[in-house]
Amino acid sequence: MEKPFVYADNAATTNVSDNALNAMLPYLKEQYGNPSSIYTLGMDAAKAVLNARRQVAEALGAARPSEIFFTSGGSEADNLAIKSAAEFGAKNGKRHIITTNIEHHAVLHTCEHLEKHGFEVTYLPADEDGIVSAQQVENAIREDTAIVSVMAINNEIGSILPIEEIGEVCKKKGVLFHTDAVQAIGQLHFDLKNMNIDMLSISGHKFHSPKGVGALYVRTGTPLESLIHGGAQERGKRAGTENVAGIVAMGVAITDAVSGIDERNIRLAKMRNRLIDNILAAIPYSRLNGGRECRSSGNVNISFRGIEGESLILALDIRGIAASSGSACTSGSIDPSHVLTAIGLNEELAKGSLRLTLGDGNTDEDIDYILEVLPETIKRLRSMSPMWQRICREEGIPDYTVQ
Amino acid sequence: MAKKRVLAAMSGGVDSSAAVKLLLDEGYEVAGATMHLYNNEDIGIREKTCCSLNDVEDARLVALKLGIDFHVFNFSDEFKSCVMDNFVDTYLAGGTPNPCIECNKHLKFGSFLDRAKLLGFDFIATGHYVTSHFDEASGRWLLKRSADRSKDQSYVLYGMTQEQLAHTLFPVGAMNKPEIRAIAEENGLINAHKRDSQDICFIPDGDYASFITERAGEQPEGDIVLSDDTVLGRHKGLIHYTIGQRRGVGVSYSEPLFVTAKDMASNRLIMGNAEQVCSKRLTAGDVNYITIDKLTSPLRCTAQTRYHQKDVPCTIYPTGENTAEVEFDVPHKAVSKGQSVVFYDGEYVIGGGTIEDSAR
């Protein structure tokens, strides 16, 4: 019998779709021109990049394709947006940045870097559901605020933040607004020409294009300063020969991603709810992290007492389930999640978390399999966990793992 | 029969890399794992990255070359609480800690072994220079010094329980360092840039005093005295000195003087002559035995009170549940609180404990 494999880590990355792959392949072999070359092969590549730019702009409801700047991915887009805004802000004496304490490291570490260079950063605290309100943003805006950066959907607990309202507040106050929408493509409807979002980051591999391609949307009229200097690609704002094949793939993939948002959300939410309800019912001393409302349709994040996340992930891997816990550390191990700590979890619960993120490839059979494997895995790990035994002893909990 | 599964603790260095190769040759199914024990910023390295990422990448590369699965386990919390904090606390209490022993006890044969069992491995393996085997006569697992005495690491493994020994393989212990190096070279497992492992991995520059003061603040200066209270000078904080130290104290006297004690209560550094720096007796706590279940009557053996030291004849006496008293045949130099005393019967480790007190 073939070993089962369930991929439940779609917030980490996704596979490349057939449409995206077929679209990109010619640009690796036959159509390998450099878009900056003036002969036909080069111009064809330039046309393909422009077409993708148009597709991305359309998918996001941007006013014009020239508002899309291709990057190497979401992290570069976040860095570009925030560092550019900081640089322009500083020229006008604005050295204050507002963000949240549940952002991705691409935003948090960029802000920390700017703090070392004389910027002051306000990290708005998310509530226990992982939400930061427009009111919080409004209260934090100052005369010298250069940019507000608030993510659209949190990558760990799937909370959907009120970016439309936050955008309105920023517009009212005349402050630039950036959102990291890396997790939101194919989940939320964007109509950027009618939304008060000045900059928005996306990452191709989160919606079935290859890794190594992303984009920053920059509303016309918003100043943008280069992060990477060199040639005049991307209208002089992002040097480096374009990742033509990746860009072409992303154009196709984002078109597919936004064409079925409502159907996707209904399908994923059904599977998600089945997972949440059954896990909480079947496994004692488990809790859902983040709220049920305003939650991304594919996100499940549950903490188990007496469990150590890294062990759980490895144990699930043995059973053919790919999931995550905390934030992936560069070494290939797992660091406790700053997001779970930010929404009020203690260290034990933050370390004992499991994130399952569903995507287009998941089926009801996948959910059946997870629900079959997870309770027994948790039970087995608890039966071997000194932490669980201590909890039972100290809190007088009968240990159900003992026969 | 299914192959036995072994999880090798890999540092990326020569010994653990060769250990994996030896296990594969013996027919085991092997996977490797590196422990992520600290972040650079925790140990004063400014770069904000995980642990010593280079070491992890070295280990990953070796695993790739040998074609085995590879994991990284994040044990930084355990390492901080069990090893680094303990290191600072012991120093502040006037002792001389041995963090490698704590790491072996809590991390390698604690968290790492637990994780391996949980993942269904039959054994773990390390690159330690020791050997172990099951002794039918006594019904116990025994730990023996390495064939290469100059590399022997039995001193830091005396705390191993029977359960831990039963699940641990030491593939390199039966060989000597040149043989191991040759195996690593033949298989392209040598990392040219690899430094020799440090005394204390989390203090790469060796400046343990700075490590402590960064965490516990500057330590107060005080008097340097002889045992009769004669004041010889001023010390710059007791953590800067170790028992048995002769040079660098900054006092002169008619005969060579050694640090004999640190009086934490009065913050005085006590000096004495060659005779006064030797101890006839010591008491050990947290004692673990390997060859025997427990000590019930006095036992003649040899003992070692430092890592690289020749063992000397002594008698050990049972004093309590996990305590013992050691009486040296000849007064023994520089017995330091916090270090370990390890008992040997020839090449075999009888057991050992933490030095709690000593007396002339």
- How does DSSP assign B289-335, residue by residue? ESSSS---S-EEEEEESSSSS--EEEEEEE-SSS-EEEEEEEEEET-
Mark whether A178 and A216 lie in a shared domain: yes
Interval B294-347: pLDDT, tens: 999 999 999 999 988 899 999 999 999 899 999 999 999 989 999 999 999 999
Provide the edge-to-edge strand list for the sheet that holds B268-272: B231-235, B222-226, B268-272, B258-263
Residue range of the domain that includes A209: 18-259
Q: What ipTM was reported for this prediction?
A: 0.81
Q: Which of A156, A106, A313 is nearest to B72 (CA)?
A: A313
Question: Which of A201, A227, A259 marks a domain boundary?
Answer: A259
Q: Which pLDDT score is estimated for B12?
A: 84
Structure confidence at residue A43 as a pLDDT band (50, 70, 90): very high
Task: Specify the pLDDT at position A342.
Answer: 94
> What DSSP character marks residue B201?
T
Residue A6 covered by a domain:
no
Looking at the 3D structure of chain A, how many domains does it have? 2
One domain for residues A22 and A118:
yes
Contacts of A281 (CB under 8 A, 6+ apart): none
Q: Is residue A8 a part of any domain in this protein?
A: no
Q: Does residue A332 register a pLDDT over 80?
A: no
Both A379 and A345 in one domain: the answer is yes
CB contact under 8 A, A329 and B119: no
- Specify the DSSP element, H or E, that contains A378: helix A364-383
Domain boundary (A225, A242, A259) is at: A259
Q: What is the CATH number of the domain that holds A367?
A: 3.90.1150.10
A318: nearest CA partner in chain B: B119
B53 interaction partners in chain A (CB closer than 8 Å):
330-331
Q: Are A252 and A281 in the same domain?
A: no
Q: From the candidates A111, A170, A294, A329, which is the catalytic residue?
A: A329
Residue A7 covered by a domain: no
Same domain, A174 and A279: no
Q: What is the CATH number of the domain that holds A69?
A: 3.40.640.10
Spatial CB neighbours of B169, under 8 Å, sequence gap ≥ 6 = B6, B23, B123, B124, B125, B126
How confident is the model over A336-359, as pLDDT tens digits?
A: 789 999 999 998 899 999 999 999
Of A232, A242, A236, nearest in space to A212 by CA: A242
Q: Do B115 and A335 touch (CB under 8 A)?
A: no
Parallel/antiparallel/unpaired status of strands A214-218 and A199-203: antiparallel
Would you list which residues of chain B are within 8 Å, Cβ to Cβ, of chain A? 34, 36, 48-51, 53, 56, 60, 70-74, 77, 114-115, 117-120
B16 is in an annotated binding site: yes
Of B103, B278, B301, B314, catalytic: B103
Give the domain-ending residue among A209, A227, A259. A259
Q: Both A245 and A291 in a single domain?
A: no
Mean pLDDT computed over A295-319: 95
Is B30 annotated as contributing to ligand binding?
Answer: no
Q: Which of B51, B82, B100, B201 is catalytic?
A: B201
Q: pLDDT at position A334, please?
A: 74
Quick check: is A401 in a domain?
no
pTM: 0.87
Compute the distance between CA of residue B271 and CA of residue B260 in angstroms, rounded to an integer: 5
Same domain, A113 and A229: yes
Which member of A318, A334, A347 has the closest CB to residue B74?
A: A334
pLDDT in the model for residue B41: 66
Q: Is some CB atom of chain B closer than 8 A to the CB atom of A40?
A: no
Residue A323 located in a structural domain:
yes
Please indicate, yes or no, whether residues A133 and A218 belong to a single structural domain of this protein. Answer: yes
- Tell whether the torsion through CA atoms of A316, A318, A319 and A321 is positive or negative: positive
Which SS3 state, helix, strand or coil, does residue B29 take? strand
- Whether A366 is in a domain gets the answer yes
Q: What pLDDT score was predicted for residue B44?
A: 61
Do A78 and A216 fall into the same domain? yes
Q: Is B103 a catalytic residue?
A: yes
Pick out chain B residues at pLDDT < 50: 46-51
A112 and A48, same domain (yes or no): yes
Indicate the SS3 state at residue A327: strand
pLDDT at residue B49 in the model: 42
pLDDT band at A330 (very low <50, low <70, confident <90, very high): low
Q: DSSP assignment, residue B105?
A: I
Are residues A165 and A252 located together in one domain of the fold?
Answer: yes
B200 in Cβ contact with B43 (< 8 Å): no
For residue A315, give how far its alpha carbon lies from the nearest alpha carbon of chain B (Å): 6
| In-domain check, residue A403 | no
Position B197 scores a pLDDT of 61
Structural domains of chain B ordered from first start:
5-127+171-187 (3.40.50.620), 218-272 (2.30.30.280), 278-359 (2.40.30.10)
Q: From CA A237, how far away is CA A80, in angstroms rounded?
A: 9
Residue A12 located in a structural domain: no
Selected for mutation to probe chain A from B74, B81, B111, B121 (highest A CB count within 10 Å) is B74
Nearest Cα of chain A lies from the Cα of B72 at a distance, in angstroms, of 5
A234 shares a domain with A166: yes
Token pair recorded at residue A373: 């494997």
Q: Say if residue B64 is exposed, middle or buried (CB neighbours under 10 Å; 0-12, 13-18, 19+).
A: exposed
Could you read off the pLDDT of B36-49 as tens digits, one per residue?
888 766 666 544 44
